[in-house]
């Protein structure tokens, strides 16, 4: 595992938070995913060893929690809330707008590798529906127009980077 | 008649210009004074105040907080843990997000008071994975509090030490169930435990006595110690004390969060006056009053409820006070305070299909009825919407739901079957006629819900 | 009122019937005692309780007492104490007997619960019983007949999951048949401590899997097949070989070590198809090693001995007995008898009789390996203690027959009777074998057979009945499952005939008659007969052997005696 020193420091620190090492599984998975982008089989085995577990114990956890992914995703992660309050305010249209804008389908990496769009369950911001998380940031009242606007700025940012 | 005024205890400073989530700001507004007061009180005195206050859990079940604390096994010799349930994931609920983002120290103060009261030396905040900023804010707030000797070793110069750590979830609704949460915190799949024998108060985290409280509940503890249990109990209505955060979403003019004395505002006042009524040209059709697992209410239906003196009263949906007991008597629940409103544009088959997709996705899969039943219900409603609907699908749906509720390891069984049971009970005709009406609905350009 | 009972027993009421059970017994087991079936899938008496299948739901109630005075509240209608029934059904597996506990299993609610669970378990199940090995011993089949509705309301697409996954060298997994009871996972974790199985994904899409790159290859992997209540885990070896309802079940004993795990041998028309564990809570619980299940394979091996031979020429049994008698009589006073720790108690007893008739020295070959701390002990002979009990040997055997080798070289031994032991494996050289006349009584070809003057084929453990004494000094019996091959005789018959041929007089050759003699002559087996020996065995008084340095270490239900530390 080629983790950043900061990640390793964070991992060693967080393990001390629990009387039983196994408790740190979720926090380690978060740390590794934030660093590497996804959870590889190598990462599962590394974490298992770090926490004195069998790899299956970590694998079971990785596959239970939807936030952990076992494959790389696009550079930006667009998570559109699918659940009732957002759907009532047009969440499905919002998701379709992003799909059209990036010429991709939910669950897939866009052809240019820029985004992965995902439909996720309730993001707990139902009062400002429909909501979308782009990476760690919440965007509220994302109707079709705002989805287009957000897409435009993501594309612009990508263009500048190139 | 004008709606009652909000009574803001928890959200006193929310959205206040200039109010920030750092320690200095919190202390300028009197922060941590109640913790200072608390550590001068015997722990049992605080528990007694909480009992007197009548505070009921704000996470969903409405279980009395003082009773919960009273069940904790204090003779085991094992450490007692406190876990803050910040896994806010009941659809329609978004109150804890704002506490954590805007006033994290209020929660931390409530946590520390509760830890002192229960002789807890280690607390964990289990925050849902979808709140990455929330987790950072809490980390920072705890660090500030630790630096100020409010958290950590020998707080406020006493010989009492208590540590708080933030633990992040990763997208599983079932972690809101307290034993599922405990399993998750132990680093496992969040499979709820069988009760008996694994009651958290006796065999919780690491098989030690454990208290799991909702974010809002712990904030209330601070205010209870501040004003005294008896005084707090005067807020709200008997057996439904204090204030509660109400989150309104869906088809109203002004969705958002509000804080009212429990039972002092009716559903009608909340939706029509506070939230500005239905969207232009629309009328209210249905409302889910306590998070998506609460049973749905249909505008136009009435409830004949018993009074204490044996007489009865009949209330419309609009007349229902937003408290625990009346909503329960009306066959639904106050739950987590998430009010989801649907107007006459909504087809109930499609709304249920949306809800069923949620529960099928979130079922942990441990026990048979919920695992198989939740997906079956999803498949039926999805088929109705996207493929062939049959007039008697509603009957089948209800029967499937009936085979789940009451037979599962945890309350998810009820959570996933109550929507179906209540939708069919109240909108059964819409399910029966759906094979015909859905063609019309599709042509209408209505929003896709599933 | 509930009648007072013994302090360790509590009285519970199952469907109106009172039953006294040890405190803590769960409702499933308590109900079993009064003949009431509480169906279940995930519960297993030897594994932790998880309560996930929900099949064992029951109604539960407790006698009503006045909250203030704790006085019983009587029901005027019945004159008995009123029962407060909990409206919500409870799981039987996690409900333990406490005084006055009442349960009901025959109410409309419970019927509905079971029908519901059955329906749920079947909606995503492939219903491929006609091609499933589990058919005939499948809990899903049995209980859908017993407790299901008998028709399906499911018209949606079933979930798709992996089929025919090789979990390891011996176990095949069909995930679509899996009902996610987690027994196999718990078994690996709790009993074998080989944590390789787990569930991945969530909800109805949860899937049993072995960690990628690892295999379910431990020597107990086939127990997961035994405890799988459905056809998800099947034995790769037994797969598609035979329908279980055609098979005859015969109780037997695992001979791979002195643990003596109890087994069932499954056969049809003289052919064995599989071996499975038989529950014995004092020996092997419900488990059996994978290696023990392979022990029947040599039955039909090509190197089986199927004809008596004298000087390399096929003969009848009687001709071989006569030849052996002449040979042994000629060597009188210079005969050694090599008995076997693999022989049964009865055979060892008659071997002793034969040796006494010949005034021969007796020997035994030890087999020592490493114990696995579960169900394979360090002593790889199943019945060394039988040889001690019957007086065939006085001291523990060693691996090499050094004393016998010296006696051959010194000319004191001229003839040897070997009861199935390959003497070359026990340290005798070809040159030494050439110096003696050998009578070999056994089952398979080996260098000693090749060197023997007289060879008499006999049956393997599956081809005869008898008893073994395991490491606990537990006398356990096994039964004949299949007939021996044509040309092979019963060891007891051979030993009796040999004894007669060497003028040792008449000894019985029939099992029950041998036991009459055994009971009379062997102190430890007083009052025992083959018929009255329980299926789970009987502990013998072993005080006289307590000081011997047995080789076994700790295994399930066995602690070695601390060497007077």
CA C148 – CA C119 distance, rounded (Å): 7
- Chain C residue nearest residue A53, CA to CA: C195
pLDDT value at residue B444: 66
Q: What pLDDT does residue C6 have?
A: 54
Average pLDDT, chain A: 97
Residue B262 in contact with residue B243, Cβ under 8 Å? yes
How many other β-carbons are positioned within 10 Å of the β-carbon of residue B319?
15
Sign of CA dihedral B405, B409, B415, B420: negative
Interface residue A49 vs chain C (CB under 8 A)? no
Of C91, C157, C203, the CB nearest to B194: C91
Is the Cβ of B361 closer than 8 Å to some Cβ of chain C? yes
pLDDT of C368 strictly over 50: yes
Q: Which residue of C lies nearest to B378 if distances are taken between CA atoms?
A: C156
**Whole-number Å distance between alpha carbons of C112 and C105:** 11
pLDDT in tens, B142-171: 999 999 999 999 999 999 999 999 999 999
CB contact under 8 A, C156 and B379: yes
Interface with C, mutate which of A41, A47, A63 (most C CBs under 10 A): A63
| A7 CA: distance to closest CA in chain C (Å) | 26
Please give the mean pLDDT across all residues of chain C: 95
Cα four-point dihedral sign C39, C44, C45, C48: negative
Q: In 3D, which of B382, B38, B445 has the Cα closest to residue B222? A: B38
Q: State the smallest CA–CA distance between residue C216 and chain B in angstroms.
A: 21
Q: What is the DSSP letter of C82?
A: P
CB-based contact (8 Å) between C211 and chain B? no
Q: What is the CA radius of gyration of chain B?
A: 22
CA distance B304 to chain A (A): 29
Nearest to A55 among C201, C202, C211 (CB): C211
> CA quadruple B399, B405, B409, B412: dihedral positive or negative?
positive
- Burial class, B308, CB count within 10 angstroms (exposed 0-12 / middle 13-18 / buried 19+): exposed
- The secondary element (H helix, E strand) that includes residue A86 is helix A84-88
d(CA C340, CA C238): 31
pLDDT in tens, A132-160: 999 999 999 999 999 999 999 999 999 99
Q: How far apart are CA C252 and CA C256, in angstroms?
A: 12
Q: How many residues does chain C have?
A: 565
Residue-wise pLDDT tens digits, B208-250: 999 999 999 999 999 999 999 999 999 999 999 999 999 999 9
**Which of B187, B251, B354 lies closest to A26 in CB terms?**
B187
Asked whether residue C1 carries a pLDDT value surpassing 50, the answer given is no
Report whether C105 contacts C15 (CB < 8 A). Answer: yes
CB neighbour class for B17 (10 Å; exposed up to 12, middle 13-18, buried from 19): exposed
Q: Is the pLDDT of residue B62 over 80?
A: yes
Closest residue of C to B395, CA-based?
Answer: C153
Whole-number pLDDT of residue C362: 97
Confidence of residue B443 (pLDDT cuts 50, 70, 90): low
In this prediction, residue C563 carries a pLDDT of: 54
- Cite the beta strand spans of C373-487 per DSSP E: 415-418, 437-442, 454-457, 466-469, 474-478
Of residues B2 and A129, more confidence is placed in A129
Name which of B375, B404, B408 is nearest C203 (Cβ-Cβ).
Answer: B375
DSSP C71: P
pLDDT band, very low/low/confident/very high, at B36 (cuts 50, 70, 90):
very high
Between strands C165-166 and C171-173, the pairing is antiparallel
Q: Which of C495, C281, C501 is nearest to C390 (CA)?
A: C495
Rounded to the nearest integer, the mean pLDDT of chain B is 96
- Chain C partners within 8 Å of B363 (Cβ): 202-204
Q: How far is C128 from chain B (nearest CA, A)?
A: 19
What's residue C377's pLDDT?
Answer: 98
Q: For C5-25, how does the pLDDT look when each residue is reduced to its tens digit (9 = 90+)? A: 455 899 999 999 999 999 889
CA atoms within 13 A on the CB side of C77: 2
Mean pLDDT (whole number) for B424-443? 89
Residue of B nearest to A47 (CA): B187
Report whether pLDDT(B1) > 60.
no
What is the average per-residue pLDDT within C136-152? 95
CB contact under 8 A, A122 and B89: yes
- Give residues with Cβ within 8 angstroms of B388, minimum separation 6: B435
Per CB-CB distance under 8 Å, the chain A contacts of B248 are 127
Dump strand ranges (E) for B106-169: 122-127, 163-168
Which residues in C lie closer than 8 A to residue A59 (C-beta atoms)? 198, 200, 209, 211-212
Span C89-94, average pLDDT? 97
pLDDT over 90 for what percent of chain C? 93
CA distance B363 to chain C (A): 5
Instruction: Write out pLDDT tens, residues C227-239.
Output: 999 999 999 999 9
In a mutagenesis test of the A interface, which of B11, B80, B91, B184 is the best target, namely the one with the most A β-carbons within 10 Å?
A: B91
Which site among A25, A56, A65, A66 would you substitute to test the C interface, given the most C Cβ atoms closer than 10 Å to its Cβ? A56
With an 8 Å Cβ cutoff, is B448 touching chain A?
Answer: yes
Residues 5-44 on A with a CB inside 8 Å of C are 41
Distance from CA of A68 to the nearest CA of C (A): 11
For chain B, the chains sharing at least 3 beta-carbon pairs closer than 8 angstroms are A, C
* Chain A residues whose beta carbon lies within 8 Å of the beta carbon of residue C196: 54, 56
Q: Is the pLDDT of residue C3 over 60?
A: no
In C, which residues are within 8 Å of A41 by CB distance?
212-213
∠ CA C532-C537-C540 to the nearest 5 degrees? 95
Task: List Cβ neighbours of C305 (8 Å cut-off, separation of 6 or more).
Answer: C442, C443, C444, C445, C449, C455, C457, C487, C488
- Chain A residues with CB inside 8 Å of B255's CB? 126-129
3-class DSSP state for residue C438? Answer: strand
Q: Is B280 exposed, middle or buried (0-12, 13-18, 19+ CB in 10 A)?
A: exposed
Closest partner residue to A85 (CB to CB) among B91, B132, B167 is B91
* CB-count exposure of residue C270 (10 Å: 0-12, 13-18, 19+): middle
A54 touching C (Cβ < 8 Å) = yes
| Chains in contact with C, where contact requires at least 3 CB pairs less than 8 Å apart | A, B
Chain C residues touching residue A63 (CB < 8 angstroms): 200-202
E strands present in B201-350: 210-214, 236-237, 240-241, 243-250, 256-261, 284-288, 297-298, 302-306, 312-316, 338-343
CA atoms of B119 and B69, how far apart (whole Å): 11
What is the distance, to the nearest Å, from the Cα of residue C24 to the centroid of all Cα atoms in its chain?
27
Contact C410, C378 (CB under 8 A): no
Say whether A66 and B168 touch across the interface (CB within 8 A).
no
Is 60 exceeded by the pLDDT of residue C564?
no
Task: Identify the band that residue C79 occupies on the pLDDT scale cut at 50, 70 and 90.
Answer: confident
Measured CA to CA, the distance from residue C478 to residue C265 in angstroms comes to: 10
pLDDT at C322 over 90: yes
Q: State the average pLDDT over residues A73-87.
A: 97
Distances, alpha carbon C23 to alpha carbons B199, C44, C100, C153, in Å? 21, 18, 11, 42
A neighbours by CB contacts (3+ pairs under 8 Å)? B, C
Contact C200 A60 (CB under 8 A): yes
Whether the pLDDT of residue C75 is over 80: the answer is yes
Q: What is the pLDDT of residue C500?
A: 96
Checking if the pLDDT of C340 tops 50, the result is yes
Element (H, E) at C337: strand C335-339
Mean pLDDT lowest among B419-423, C75-79, C80-84, C428-432: C75-79
- pLDDT of A161 reads 85
Which residues, including other chains, have CB under 8 Å from residue C559's CB and lie 6 or more apart? none
Which residue is closest to C202 within chain A, CA to CA? A64
Distances (CA, A) of C181 to B200, C49, C178: 24, 11, 8
Is the confidence at residue B110, as pLDDT, over 90? yes
Residue B211 backbone zone (phi > 0: left; psi -120 to 50: alpha; other: beta): beta
Smallest Cα distance from A64 to chain B, Å:
6
Q: Is C39 on the interface with B (CB under 8 A)?
A: no
Report CB contact under 8 Å: A84, B170.
no
Q: What pLDDT sits at residue B15?
A: 92
Kindly list the residues from chain C whose CB atom is less than 8 angstroms away from the CB atom of residue B406: 88-89
Angstrom distance (rounded) from CA A34 to CA A73: 12
C272 in Cβ contact with C462 (< 8 Å):
yes
Interface size between A and C, measured as CB pairs under 8 A: 31
User: SS3 sequence, A114-127?
Assistant: CEEEEEECCCCCHH
Phi-psi region of C527 (alpha: psi -120 to 50; beta: other; left: phi over 0): left
Q: Is-contact B95 B87, C-beta < 8 A?
A: no
Give the integer Cα–Cα distance in Å for A156 and C8: 78
CB pairs under 8 A between A and B: 153
Beta carbons of A122 and B249 less than 8 Å apart: no
Q: Pairing between strand C207-210 and C233-235?
A: unpaired
* pLDDT for position C524: 87
**Chain A positions in Cβ-Cβ contact with residue C201 (cut-off 8 Å):** 63-64
Residue B339 has pLDDT above 50, yes or no: yes
- Rounded CA-CA distance A45/A17 in Å is 21
Cis peptide preceding B202, ω within 30 of 0: no
Beta bridge partners of residue B56, listed in sequence order: B64
- Pairwise CA distance, residues B79 & C390, whole Å: 58
Shortest alpha-carbon distance between residue B307 and chain A (Å)? 34
Spatial contact of A125 and B97, defined as CB atoms under 8 Å apart: yes
C residues 320-349 lying closer than 8 A (beta carbon) to A: none
Which pTM was predicted? 0.95
Which of A54, A66, A84, A125 is most worth mutating to test chain B (most B CB atoms within 10 A of its CB)? A84
- pLDDT by residue (tens digit) across B118-128? 999 999 999 99
**Phi, then psi, of C551 in degrees rounded to 5:** -90, -15
**pLDDT > 70 fraction of chain C, expressed in percent and rounded:** 98
Helix (H) or strand (E) holding A80, with range, is strand A76-81
**Which among C195, C201, C214 is the nearest to A57, CB-wise?**
C195
Of C197, C201, C213, the CB nearest to A63: C201
| Residues in contact with C191: Cβ distance below 8 Å, sequence separation at least 6, in sequence order | C46, C47, C220, C223, C287, C374
B207: left (phi over 0), alpha (psi -120 to 50) or beta: left
State pLDDT tens for residues A20-39. 999 999 999 999 999 999 99
Query: Closest to B406 (Cβ–Cβ): which among C88, C91, C204?
Result: C88
> For the residues B98-108, what does the mean pLDDT come to?
97
Give the pLDDT of residue C565.
40
Dump pLDDT digits (tens) for A44-71: 999 999 999 999 999 999 999 999 999 9
């Amino acid at each position: 595992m080629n983790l950043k020193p900061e990640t390793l420091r964070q991992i060693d620190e967080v393990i001390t938070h629990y009387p039983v090492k196994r408790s740190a599984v979720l926090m380690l998975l978060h740390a590794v995913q934030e660093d590497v982008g996804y959870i590889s089989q190598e990462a599962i085995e590394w974490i298992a060893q770090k926490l004195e577990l069998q790899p299956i114990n970590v694998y079971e956890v990785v596959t239970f929690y939807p936030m952990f992914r076992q494959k790389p995703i696009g550079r930006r992660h667009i998570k559109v809330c699918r659940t009732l309050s957002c759907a009532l305010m047009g969440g499905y249209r919002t998701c379709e707008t992003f799909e059209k804008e990036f010429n991709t389908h939910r669950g897939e990496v866009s052809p240019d590798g820029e985004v992965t769009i995902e439909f996720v369950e309730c993001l707990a911001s139902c009062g400002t529906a429909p909501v979308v998380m782009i990476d760690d940031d919440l965007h509220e009242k994302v109707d079709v127009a705002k989805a287009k606007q957000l897409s435009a700025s993501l594309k612009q940012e990508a263009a500048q980077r190139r | 008649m004008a709606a009652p005024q909000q009574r803001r205890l928890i959200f006193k400073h929310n959205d206040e210009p200039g109010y920030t989530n750092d320690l200095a700001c919190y202390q300028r507004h009197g922060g941590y004074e109640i913790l200072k007061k608390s550590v001068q009180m015997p722990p049992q005195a605080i528990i007694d105040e909480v009992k007197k206050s009548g505070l009921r859990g704000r996470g969903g079940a409405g279980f009395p907080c003082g009773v919960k604390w009273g069940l904790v096994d204090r003779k085991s010799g094992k450490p007692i843990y406190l876990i803050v349930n910040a896994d806010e994931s009941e659809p329609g609920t978004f109150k804890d997000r704002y506490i954590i983002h805007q006033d994290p120290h209020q929660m931390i103060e409530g946590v520390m008071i509760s830890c002192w009261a229960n002789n807890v030396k280690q607390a964990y905040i289990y925050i849902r994975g979808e709140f990455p900023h929330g987790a950072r804010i809490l980390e920072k707030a705890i660090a500030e509090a630790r630096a100020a000797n409010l958290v950590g070793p020998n707080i406020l110069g006493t010989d009492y030490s208590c540590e708080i750590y933030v633990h992040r979830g990763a997208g599983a609704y079932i972690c809101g169930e307290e034993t599922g949460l405990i399993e998750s915190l132990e680093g496992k799949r969040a499979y709820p435990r069988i009760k008996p024998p694994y009651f958290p108060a006796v065999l919780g985290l690491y098989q030690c006595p454990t208290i799991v409280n909702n974010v809002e509940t712990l904030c209330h503890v601070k205010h209870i110690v501040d004003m005294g249990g008896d005084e707090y109990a005067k807020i709200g209505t008997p057996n439904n004390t204090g204030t509660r955060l109400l989150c309104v979403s869906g088809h109203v003019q002004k969705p958002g969060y509000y804080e009212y004395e429990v039972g002092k505002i009716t559903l009608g006042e909340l939706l029509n006056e506070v939230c500005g009524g239905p969207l232009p040209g629309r009328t209210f059709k249905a409302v889910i009053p306590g998070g998506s697992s609460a049973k749905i209410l249909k505008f136009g239906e009435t409830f004949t409820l018993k009074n204490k003196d044996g007489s009865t009263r009949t209330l419309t949906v609009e007349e229902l006070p937003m408290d625990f007991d009346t909503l329960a008597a009306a066959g639904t629940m106050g739950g987590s305070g998430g009010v989801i409103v649907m107007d006459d544009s909504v087809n109930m088959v499609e709304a249920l299909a949306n809800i069923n997709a949620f529960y099928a996705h979130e079922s942990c899969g441990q026990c048979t009825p919920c695992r198989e039943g939740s997906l079956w219900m999803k498949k039926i409603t999805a088929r109705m919407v996207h493929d062939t609907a049959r007039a008697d699908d509603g009957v089948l749906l209800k029967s499937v739901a009936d085979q789940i509720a009451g037979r599962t390891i945890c309350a998810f069984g009820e959570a996933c079957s109550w929507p179906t049971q209540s939708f069919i009970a109240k909108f059964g005709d819409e399910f029966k006629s759906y094979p015909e009406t859905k063609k019309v609905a599709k042509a209408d350009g209505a929003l896709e819900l599933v | 009122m509930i009648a007072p009972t013994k302090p360790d027993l509590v009285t519970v009421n199952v469907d109106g019937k009172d039953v006294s059970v040890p405190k803590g017994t769960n409702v499933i087991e308590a109900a079993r005692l009064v003949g009431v079936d509480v169906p279940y899938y995930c519960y297993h008496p030897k594994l932790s309780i998880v309560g996930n299948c929900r099949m064992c739901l029951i109604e539960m109630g407790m006698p009503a007492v006045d909250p203030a005075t704790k006085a019983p509240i009587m029901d005027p209608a019945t004159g008995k104490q009123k029962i407060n029934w909990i409206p919500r059904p409870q799981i039987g597996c996690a409900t333990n007997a406490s005084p006055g506990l009442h349960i009901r299993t025959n109410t409309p609610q419970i019927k509905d619960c079971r029908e519901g669970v059955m329906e749920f378990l079947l909606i995503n199940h492939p219903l491929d019983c006609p091609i499933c090995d589990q058919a005939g011993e499948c809990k899903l089949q049995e209980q859908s007949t017993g407790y299901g509705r008998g028709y399906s309301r499911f018209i949606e697409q079933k979930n798709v999951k992996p089929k025919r996954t090789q979990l390891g060298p011996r176990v095949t997994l069909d995930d679509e048949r899996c009902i996610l009871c987690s027994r196999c996972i718990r078994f690996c974790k709790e009993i074998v401590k080989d944590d390789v199985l787990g569930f991945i994904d969530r909800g109805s899409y949860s899937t049993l899997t072995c960690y990628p790159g690892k295999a379910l290859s431990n020597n107990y992997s086939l127990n997961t097949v035994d405890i799988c209540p459905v056809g998800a885990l099947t034995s790769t070896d037994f797969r598609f070989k035979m329908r279980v309802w055609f098979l005859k079940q015969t109780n037997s004993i695992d001979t791979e070590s002195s643990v003596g795990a109890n087994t069932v041998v499954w056969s049809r028309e003289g052919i064995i198809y599989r071996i499975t564990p038989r529950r014995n809570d004092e020996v092997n619980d419900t488990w059996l090693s994978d290696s023990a299940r392979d022990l029947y394979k040599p039955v039909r091996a090509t190197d089986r001995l199927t004809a008596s031979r004298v000087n390399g020429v096929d003969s009848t049994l009687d001709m071989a007995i006569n030849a052996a008698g002449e040979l042994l009589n000629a060597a009188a006073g210079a005969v050694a008898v090599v008995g076997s720790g693999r022989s049964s108690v009865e055979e060892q007893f008659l071997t002793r009789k034969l040796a006494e008739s010949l005034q021969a020295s007796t020997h035994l070959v030890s087999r020592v390996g490493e114990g696995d701390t579960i169900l394979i002990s360090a002593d790889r002979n199943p019945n060394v203690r039988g040889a001690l009990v019957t007086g065939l040997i006085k001291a523990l055997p060693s691996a090499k027959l050094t004393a016998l080798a010296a006696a051959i070289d010194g000319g004191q031994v001229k003839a040897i009777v070997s009861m199935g032991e390959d003497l070359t494996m026990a340290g005798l050289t070809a040159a030494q074998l050439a110096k003696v006349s050998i009578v070999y009584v056994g089952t398979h070809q080996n260098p000693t057979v090749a060197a023997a003057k007289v060879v008499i084929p006999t049956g393997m453990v599956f081809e005869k009945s008898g008893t073994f004494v395991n490491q606990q000094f537990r006398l356990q019996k096994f039964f004949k499952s299949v007939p021996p091959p044509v040309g092979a005789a019963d060891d007891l018959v051979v030993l009796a005939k040999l004894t007669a041929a060497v003028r040792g007089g008449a000894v019985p050759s029939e099992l029950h008659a041998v036991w009459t003699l055994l009971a009379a002559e062997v102190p430890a087996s007083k009052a025992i007969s083959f018929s009255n020996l329980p299926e789970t065995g009987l502990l013998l008084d072993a005080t006289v052997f307590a000081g011997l340095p047995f080789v076994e270490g700790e295994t399930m239900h066995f602690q070695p005696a601390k060497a007077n530390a």
